[in-house]
Amino acid sequence: MMESLDQFYYKPLVAVVTEAEHGKTVRTVLERQLGVSRKLLSQVKLTEHGLTVNEKRAYTTAPVVQGDIIRVRMEREVSGDILPQPIPIQIVFEDEDLLIVNKPAGMIVHPTHGHYTGTMANGVVYHWQERGERVRFRPVHRLDEETSGLVAIAKTSYVHQQLSGQMQANGFLKLYRAYVYGCPEPIKGTVDAPIDRNPDEPHIRIVTPEGYPSVTHYETAKRFRAEGEKPAAAAVRLKLETGRTHQIRVHMQHIGCPLIGDKMYGPKDGAINDWENAVGRQALHAETLGFRHPITKSWMEWQAPLPPELERLEQILAQNKAKP
């Protein structure tokens, strides 16, 4: 029976009823022990083996006794709307619950209008297909097309729910590295400035008092000086407390230090210099990602080294051979 169930369901979530939970309902035990959402329970209870107590189908409102074993089984799903493509993807970590990918700059995370192929999702779905896995593509967060670095992908709806909850509770560690014009003053601080869409150009974000709360912590790692002048550029480490669209790019522009190579939020004089030629895109990289594994509960953390184009940019800045 179990082999046949594994073909149609993911590995079950298991809760053993404690003495303190004797007489409580199935729903209460699952919410307390595993943090299972009511939305997920409403989905799994519709299938024959989705919700069981001692391997017998159960209702969420059914009372349980100490020692009962509750199992939650989610049906295996696939992303039928995403075309599998043999696109190389750099896998940093993978287990049966989640996948961590180091995304290159120039790649979109998920198919969008006008970009149905060539995305990271197309490559990931192909990877799972080749491994014989039936998994739906569920990114926990996104990166802009021209931003490189680490992206977390959940392999079940429960894992996605748990990681999304961690992110909303500021339990995610997301550290970025950026190269900016000038140098932030002070060299270490916090940008607390609300962000919303530009009413005149909705694809652009701006700092506005009517915007959504947005907080970015930054620390200057290196300053690059043109000889005899104030810092012309800097390498900055950033930590997000919120995750608004274009947040780092908007906040760095807001404090007068736009990202090198940022066509949308960078300097508007139209000049292209050696720095921008070296990087070829906005100089932003998601270098560190950390969170508590939803199943094992252990803290996990990953690093993504600087891609070659950002290494070249830093070499040019360090040599002071180019001026903005």
* DSSP annotation of 25: B
CB 193 within 8 A of CB 207: yes
Alpha-carbon distance of 60 to 72, in angstroms, equals 11
Alpha helices (H) along 73-224: 120-130, 157-168
Say whether 83 sits in a helix, a strand or coil.
Answer: coil
Alpha-carbon distance of 58 to 116, in angstroms, equals 41
Say whether 101 sits in a helix, a strand or coil.
Answer: strand
Residue 269 annotated in active site: no
Report the 10 Å Cβ neighbour count for 99.
Answer: 22
CB 175 within 8 A of CB 239: yes
**What is the enclosing helix (H) or strand (E) of 133?**
none
Q: Which of 68, 97, 144, 262 is catalytic?
A: 144
Would you please indicate which residues are annotated as catalytic (active-site) residues? 144
